[in-house]
Each structure stands twice: as structure tokens, then as C-alpha cells.
Chains A and B, each alone.
Chain A
Amino acid sequence: MKRFSEGNGQGGMELPRTKGIRAAFEKGMNILFFLCGAVAVLFVLFISIYLIISGLPAIREIGLFPFLFGQEWASTASEPKFGILPFILTSIYGTAGAIVIGVPVGFMTAVFLAKIAGPKVASAIRAAVELLSSIPSVVYGLIGMTILVPAIRSAFHLASGATLLAAIVVLAVMVLPYIISVSETALTAVPKEYEEASLALGATEIETYFRVSVPAASSGIAAAVVLGIGRAIGEAMAVMMVAGNVANMPSLLESVRFLTTAVASEMSYSSGLQRQALFSIALVLFLFIMLINAALALLLKKGKKD
């Protein structure tokens, strides 16, 4: 009792000070956390504003319509042409191709991992998938360049194997781990009761997975696809090494240039309007990514509501 009152007395003397220090500390940490959070926002704002400011002049000079829908890109010709339709279409076709190949394989793998595979097999495959996602894109490019491109050249009897097809195959492999891991998470999150009910009603396992589990996880799987699209459309390094980088209108067995590689390949020696136009391409690419991110956010939100 005495002790208590003593303590209390002392505490009474000291409490305001410690309380003050603690409160200040709390406040300080709060500000620190806020600042760290603000850094990310600031960077996004800075990049957006910078891209818009440096991307608009060329569009204004070339004209929005000729820029977006011009079919010819000859940036250093005596009469330069700045039409980026070949790049836009190539990016869209290339991404679509990667998704067409990558999604079925990735989706099946996810179903297998989440529902069918035994724990040992699943963990082995999961480790491989994780490894696949951490391989640097330049390594994908290198392997594509030395194995895939010559293989496509001899398979289709072409002069050069650096084609849209090579880029699609490389991108498909690159989006695979994203599609697998996000879809798997969505499938694992489906409540067990749904599946048990379905099985109890006499459906087979496969019927249950495809009629019950997959529809229940649909928004998560859609998010996986969108994430894959975002990854594919933004990839530059690997694509630059296998696509040949000629500004042709896209065709499966021809050399093509993506939006990303258009910026990357000419930046080093560019000047004047050419350089400004490269920033405008980056702006277009940025808008594409923004759209994809918005779609992703929408899907995830919908998934939470479900």
C-alpha cells in the first residue's frame, strides 16, 4: 500500500513528463510513417506530371491523330514520320498472344496446385513457380535470343527468327508465375463448404472444381489475368532481345517493335522532336498501364464484395 502510494506519488510527479515524451514519440513516429507513405505518392505524382509535361509537346506538334494512328515511324528520316500505331498494335497483339498462351497453362496449374496435387508435389511446383518469377528479364531475353529465335527461324524457314511470335512465347513464360500464384490464392480461398456440398450432391471432383470452385474464385482469377497483362505490356528488356525491333505493322512472323522497346531502343542517340516523341510514347504506355491498374483495382474490389 505504502509502496503503491509512493509509486503513485512518484508517478504523479513523473507521469506527465513520461506521458509527454511518449506522446511526442508517438506523434513523431506517426509523422515519420506518414512521410514514408507520402514518398510513394510523391513519386507517382512526380512521374505522372513529368511524363505529361514532357510527353505533350511532341503530340501537340505532330498532332494527336497522326501520332496515334500514323502507320509509319521514321524518326530520323529527312522527312520524319512519327506514327505509333505499329507500336500500339504490336503491344496489344503481343500481350494478347502471351495471355492466350499463358492463361490456360497458368490457370490449369493453379487448379492443380490448389485442389488436386498432393502437398509434396504442390510444394515442389510452387518453388519452381516462385523461381520462375524471380528470374531477371534479361535472362529470359538471353535464352530467347540464343534458343528460341534460331528455333523459330528454322521451324518456319525464315531469314531471321526475331519475330512477334518469339516475343509472345517469352512473354507467355514471363506472365505464367503471376497468373499461377494469384489464381491459386483465389482458389484456395474458396470456402471448403461449397466444395463439400457439391461433392455430397454427387458431383465428381473435376466437376466440383470447374463448376463450383472456379466460379467462386472468378474475380481473383480475372485479377490474375489483368496482372499478367500489366506485366506483359510493360516488359521491355526481354522483348527487345527477341523481337527484332523494326517498326513494322504487327504480323506473327515479322520483326516488330513494342511501345516499351520503341522508347528504349532509340533513347540513347535521340534528339529534338524524336526525343520528345519518345516521351510521348512513354506517356501512351503509362496511360495503358493506368487503365490496366484501374481494371485490376475494380476486379479486386468486386472480389471483396462477393
Chain B
Amino acid sequence: MKKVMSMLLAAALCAGVFAGCSGTDTASSAADAASQADASQADASQADSSEGEEGGAVNTELSGTVSTNGSTSMEEVMQGLIEYFNEEYPNITVTYDPTGSGTGIEQATAGSCDIGLSSRALKDEEKEAGLTETVVAKDGIAIVVNTENAVSELTVDQITKIATGEITNWSEVGGADEEIAFIGREAGSGTRGAFEELTGTEDACSYAQELTSTGAVRTAVSTTPGAIGYISLSSLDDSVKAIAVKVDDASEAVKCTEETVLDGSYAIQRPFVFATKSDAELSEAAQAFYDFATSEDAAQIYIDAGVVPASESAE
């Protein structure tokens, strides 16, 4: 009897799954057909340019290739930008080579890519070499501790020493006598790369835990009294306490918020930069991509990627 029941149940489940499948199948094939129809319409309108733009925001007249090259940290941002950009300009191909900020800047200077991507501000000599810097977004990294921790301010130097294991007890930085557990992300994570780069602790951090997601870091910090960790600003919430960071002993402590990241007063942050040649105009396609990336419509893409869009600061 039990067996019969379980077989019936299994059969019902299977039926459900298959029904679901066929449902989506027809839906997607319908969508396919629709998009094919769209495409043929688009073709038609392209062949006969007098028809003008029927597809609303979709611009099929501009075509070409935009090459971008540089920062690996900007991968998530670029993927988002390219995806949404292609919805508006389906005939423009945007390529992205994650080679590193240095290479991106070099390539942009040499003119071998349209837009160089850098996750640090351009140096003066790079600007003198003929590059214009456009900050499209800012990446702020919040330093978080357990909500029960009495410490609420740290200098960048203290954070560096905690990360490298030079400071191991909260009493050394004005807190209770509690051992510090430094919790971070796994090797290869963008947040870890940014934190180590900004605090100058590349390859020198001594972690108590290396977790594979921002959420896991937040949870571990919220359940471990002596913990300190770093998470991207966008995933900050009430379960942990964000540390106000001082550049040095004399300066004022600044909380990590969108405003302080944008106005540059929060120390542990970096800009995401589009580097373009000052003396040459961008191609029409590249200009379209540049305009799209700096428009307010793109703000949500940056927010989704966990960074603060720079276009908000204009207001």
C-alpha cells in the first residue's frame, strides 16, 4: 500500500515536472518566434531606412564594435553594462578584456582599445600622456565588526595591522580583552582584491576564516564576538556594525555610506574609471556606449553590481 502511494506520488511529481517543462517550452518557443519576427522586422527597417525607428528605444541604426580593456574588478559592472546596452543597441558589439587596470590604461593611451578600464584613479603622468578620466562608479568596502564590539573607530593603519596579524587583541585598539578573528573572502574574490589592494596587504593577510560569499562573511561576523571582516557597501545591514575609518590618528572618523564614498571622504574605496583619449573623438558606437554607461539609466546596473554609481553625485 505504501509502495503504491509513493509510486503514485512520484508519478504525480513527474507529471508536474513534465507539464512545467512543456509549458515553458511553448512559452519560450513563442518568445523565439516573436523575437524572430522582431528581427525580421528590424532587418526590413534597416534595409529600408525611411521606415524610421519603430522599436521604441531600440536603436538598430548604429553598428560597429567597441573594445574595452582593463580592470578585472570591473567584470561584474561591465557584464551588466554590456547586457543592457545590447538591448538598446543590438547591432553594436562591445568586447571586454579583463587584463588589469595597468594594461587597460596602456592600451587606451596607445589607442588600441576604445575605452580603458581602471579600478584606480589615473596618475598625473597618465593624464599628461593624453588620457581623460571619467569616474563611472565608486566601490566602497565597509569594515564590519560584531554589534557587541565596543570599538567603533579604527585608522587605516590599524586595519592593516589587524589584517596582517600584527594586532591580535581588541584591547590593543581600545576594545575589550578579546581575541580578533579576521574574516575575509576566498582568493580571487573582487572584494578581497579591493580590500587587500586598498590597505596594502596583498598576500600578507592572516585570516581566521575565508568564506565564499559576502553573506557568509556577514553571518560569521554577526555570530562571532571578536570578529572583524570586510564586505561591499551594498551588502551592509544591521546584523553587523560598520567601523568608522580614519585616514590617520589626527583625521576625523568617517562612516561608510554612499555619500562618504561618493565625496571621497571614506578612505577604503576606489573609483571605477573609463579612460579615454583626450585628443581623439570616440567612434560613434563607442560614444553611444560611453553615454549609456554615464547616464542615469545605468545607475541601477551599478547598484546591482554592488557599487555606487557616480552619476548620482552630479545631483
Which residues of A are interface residues toward B (Cβ below 8 A)?
A: 74-79, 145-146, 149-150, 153, 157-162, 240, 244-246, 255, 257, 264-266, 268-271, 274
Question: Can you list 21 residue pairs at the A/B interface with Cβ under 8 Å?
Answer: A146-B223, A159-B168, A159-B178, A159-B179, A159-B180, A159-B227, A160-B209, A160-B220, A160-B224, A161-B224, A162-B220, A244-B208, A244-B209, A244-B210, A264-B212, A265-B210, A266-B186, A266-B188, A269-B186, A269-B189, A274-B188
For residue B39, CB closer than 8 A to chain A, the reply is no
Chain B nearest CB: distance from A147 CB in Å?
10
Which residue of the partner chain, among B168, B179, B207, B219, contacts A255 with CB atoms under 8 Å?
B207
A158 in contact with B188 (CB, 8 Å): no
B202 in contact with A246 (CB, 8 Å): no
Which residue of the partner chain, among B180, B186, B226, contacts A245 with CB atoms under 8 Å?
B186
Q: Which of B189, B208, B220, B227 gathers the greatest number of chain A CB atoms within 10 Å?
A: B208
Assuming A76-B188, A270-B188, A271-B188, what are 9 further A-B pairs, CB within 8 angstroms?
Answer: A76-B193, A78-B202, A79-B203, A160-B208, A162-B209, A255-B208, A257-B210, A268-B212, A274-B187
Q: Which of A244, A268, A270 gathers the greatest number of chain B CB atoms within 10 Å?
A: A244
B179 in contact with A158 (CB, 8 Å): yes
Q: How many residues of B contact A (CB 8 A)?
A: 26
A160 in contact with B188 (CB, 8 Å): no
Give B181-206 interface residues, CB cut-off 8 Å to A. 181, 183, 186-190, 193, 202-203
A74 and B187 CA atoms in complex are apart in Å by 8
Give B245-269 interface residues, CB cut-off 8 Å to A. none
Which residue of the partner chain, among B168, B203, B209, B212, contacts A246 with CB atoms under 8 Å?
B209
Closest A residue to B224 using CB positions: A160
Which residue of the partner chain, among B168, B189, B190, B202, contacts A77 with CB atoms under 8 Å?
B202
B208 in contact with A266 (CB, 8 Å): no
Which residue of the partner chain, among B187, B190, B202, B226, contacts A159 with CB atoms under 8 Å?
B226
Q: Which of A74, A75, A78, A159 gathers the greatest number of chain B CB atoms within 10 Å?
A: A159
For residue B211, CB closer than 8 A to chain A, the reply is yes
A36 and B59 CA atoms in complex are apart in Å by 52
Known: A74-B187, A74-B203, A266-B188. A150 touches B211 (CB 8 A): no
Known: A150-B224, A153-B224, A161-B224. A75 touches B208 (CB 8 A): no
A160 in contact with B186 (CB, 8 Å): no
Closest A residue to B212 using CB positions: A265
Known: A77-B202, A77-B203. A159 touches B208 (CB 8 A): yes
Known: A240-B212, A265-B212. A75 touches B224 (CB 8 A): no
- By Cβ-Cβ distance, the 9 closest A-B pairs, closest first, are A269-B188, A159-B179, A160-B181, A159-B181, A77-B203, A244-B209, A160-B208, A76-B187, A245-B210
Residues of B contacting A79 with CB < 8 Å? 203
A157 and B181 CA atoms in complex are apart in Å by 12
A77 and B209 CA atoms in complex are apart in Å by 18
A162 and B188 CA atoms in complex are apart in Å by 21
Give B149-195 interface residues, CB cut-off 8 Å to A. 168, 178-181, 183, 186-190, 193
Residues of B contacting A271 with CB < 8 Å? 188
